[in-house]
Amino acid sequence: MLICTTETVAGYEIVETFGLVRGATVRAKHLGTDIVAALKQLVGGELRGYSSLLAGAREQALDRMIEDARAKGADAIVAMRMQTSAIAQGSSEIVAYGTAVRLAPA
């Protein structure tokens, strides 16, 4: 599955548009990660527990968006974006979305 943030793909033309596809996940922080993060904030540096949590959430949202596109018969997703929002204290939603299309060589 080709995924791009642009509306077109160099060397290809969009021959069919299937519409919006999306994938989402909601993740909550872990108490252990919070404790380590609080200690890390005293000395500075990357909060690796949170970085790992968000990286996994982004991958899951992308995977779910790709599943949605494949189910519609698409071979690419154009104009892909990601968005995050706080759902409640300590949890965030990550959404990946774009337009599912079928491409052909130009």
pLDDT in tens, 5-59: 999 999 999 999 999 999 999 987 665 555 555 555 666 667 677 778 889 999 9
DSSP letter for 4, please. -
pLDDT at 64: 98
Instruction: State the distance between the two ends of the chain, measured CA to CA, in whole angstroms.
Output: 18
Average pLDDT for 83-96: 87
Retrieve residue 74's tokens.
């698409």
Does this model's pTM top 0.85? no
Cβ neighbours of residue 52 under 8 Å, at least 6 residues apart? none
Give the span between the Cα atoms of 17 and 70, in whole angstroms: 13
pLDDT at 74: 98
Where does 2-28+59-105 sit in CATH, by number?
A: 3.30.110.70
Task: Write the CA distances from 7 to 12, 13, 31, 40, 63, integer angstroms.
Answer: 11, 11, 41, 41, 20
